[in-house]
Amino acid sequence: MRILGIETSCDETGVAIYDDEAGLLAHTLYSQVKLHADYGGVVPELASRDHVRKLVPLVKEALAEAKLSADQIDGVAYTAGPGLVGALLVGACAGRALAYAWGVPAVAVHHMEGHLLAPMLEETPPAFPFVALLVSGGHTQLVRVDGIGQYQLLGESIDDAAGEAFDKTAKLMGLDYPGGPLLSKLAEQGNSGRFKFPRPMCDRPGLDFSFSGLKTFAANTIAAEGDSALADIARAFEDAVVDTLAIKCRRALEQTGLNRLVIAGGVSANRHLRAQLESMMQKRGGEVFYPRPEFCTDNGAMIAYAGMQRLKAGEHQALAVKGQPRWPLDQLSALGQS
């Protein structure tokens, strides 16, 4: 079975083709970073219009890369949510239309399920059950995963997501958009001992996160110390976020009794976070899994893989198209159940 996957939830247009026997056959991606850079963040209407311009050429490119024709595609998967509603509808309408034209089933995929399953694209995928840390610009969640669609939300951010806090703090420092990776690069030059930032919500039980206060703490420190201290402030900020994520991951593993950890989403590419979680899991005698960097950010490959699993289980969508800007992950059906 070969599935075409389409991802248009925010500011990346991704198209990929996945074969259940041969694996990933094609992976194409267009980023809108330059388009939104002048605005310091994603402009939803511009994002939607750019998806319209780029999606069909990327579908053609993916088919050419895989050396396939349309009649060799067995299904189409598209991101239906969560995300920017206009951007979602571009991919959903295109995906459903292609499936109708090609006479194949279409399936709506949950964006975060795509991220959660992205490590399955690697040579050594994690076995169920495991704890997943989904950490990106829009979400920070801890989830117990017992199988595809068998998700128990353990904790999530009550305000800014970790990636959002990175980008907002980078903007306070005058860094270009998207600022998160630039802040991490600046932090490499910083002294970790100069400033001590709080580890929010780690002094109380529970697995929820809060990162908006760190942004305020950083703003106050920048105002007090000036631009000459930016590298040290960036280091202190990154240390605080990474420590907080690691502390909550350890709690989640202890609470569930599991010893396998998956990290996915854009922030999972952070080298400091990976190193700390790898060290923690090594000490615990456990395992940590994550996708390669190109599959940490939004991409069509993860949507194609997730869609493949659901189409093989018999799920598919009717002709009506629906985008869900808000869509709780634990509302998904377990495979084999309606």
Q: Answer yes or no: is 307 a known binding residue.
A: no
Instruction: Please indicate whether the domains covering 2-117+295-331 and 128-290 agree at the CATH topology level.
Output: yes
CATH 3.40.50.620 fits domain 2-117+295-331: no
Q: Look up tokens 């219009």; give the residue.
A: 49
Note the CATH architecture for domain 128-290: 2-Layer Sandwich (3.30)
Domain boundary assignment for the chain? 2-117+295-331, 128-290
Q: Answer yes or no: is 134 a known binding residue.
A: yes
Q: Answer yes or no: is 138 a known binding residue.
A: yes
Tens of pLDDT, residues 29-50? 999 999 999 998 999 999 999 9
Residue 69 CA: distances (Å) to CA of 3, 20, 178: 12, 17, 36
Instruction: Quote the pLDDT of residue 259.
Output: 97
> Could you tell me if 24 and 16 are in contact, meaning their C-beta atoms sit under 8 angstroms apart?
yes
User: Which residues are 54's β-sheet partners?
Assistant: none
Q: Is the entire prediction scored with pTM above 0.75?
A: yes
For residues 154, 144, 180, 86, the Cα torsion angle rounded to the nearest 10 degrees is: -90
Calculate mean pLDDT across residues 60-74.
98
Helical pair 230-256 and 271-284, crossing angle rounded to 10 deg: 30
By mean pLDDT, which of 6-15, 83-92, 323-332 is the weakest?
A: 323-332
CA–CA distance, 330 with 91 (Å, rounded to integer): 23
Q: Is the pLDDT of residue 337 over 70?
A: no
Q: Answer yes or no: is 167 a known binding residue.
A: yes
Q: Quick one: tokens of 51?
A: 């998806």
What's the chain look like in SS3? Answer: CEEEEEECCCCEEEEEEEECCCEEEEEEEEECHHHHHCCCCCCHHHHHHHHHHHHHHHHHHHHHHHCCCHHHCCEEEEEEECCCHHHHHHHHHHHHHHHHHHCCCEEEEEHHHHHHHHHHHCCCCCCCCEEEEEECCCCEEEEEEEECCEEEEEEEECCCCHHHHHHHHHHHCCCCCCHHHHHHHHHCCCCCCCCCCCCCCCCCCCCCECCHHHHHHHHHHHHHHCHHHHHHHHHHHHHHHHHHHHHHHHHHHHHHCCCEEEEECHHHHCHHHHHHHHHHHHHHCCEEECCCHHHCCCCHHHHHHHHHHHHHCCCCCCCCCCCCCCCCHHHCCCCCCC
Label the pairing between strands 130-135 and 260-264: parallel
Q: Look up tokens 């018999």; give the residue.
A: 314
Burial of 103 (0-12, 13-18, 19+ CB in 10 A): exposed
Calculate mean pLDDT across residues 57-86.
98
Residue 124 — φ and ψ, nearest 5°?
-120, 85
Tens of pLDDT, residues 173-193? 999 999 999 999 999 999 998
Tens of pLDDT, residues 103-138? 999 999 999 999 999 999 999 999 999 999 999 988
CA–CA distance, 42 with 295 (Å, rounded to integer): 20
Instruction: Quote the pLDDT of residue 260.
Output: 98
Q: Answer yes or no: is 111 a known binding residue.
A: yes
Q: Which amino acid would we find at residue 205?
A: P
* pLDDT, averaged across the chain: 96
Instruction: Quote the pLDDT of residue 338.
Output: 43
CA atoms within 13 A on the CB side of 315: 20
Tens of pLDDT, residues 250-306? 999 999 999 999 999 999 999 999 999 999 999 999 999 999 999 999 999 999 999
> Could you tell me if 14 and 57 are in contact, meaning their C-beta atoms sit under 8 angstroms apart?
no
When pLDDT is cut at 50, 70 and 90, the band that residue 69 belongs to is: very high
Calculate mean pLDDT across residues 66-77.
98
When pLDDT is cut at 50, 70 and 90, the band that residue 336 belongs to is: low
Helical pair 230-256 and 162-172, crossing angle rounded to 10 deg: 170
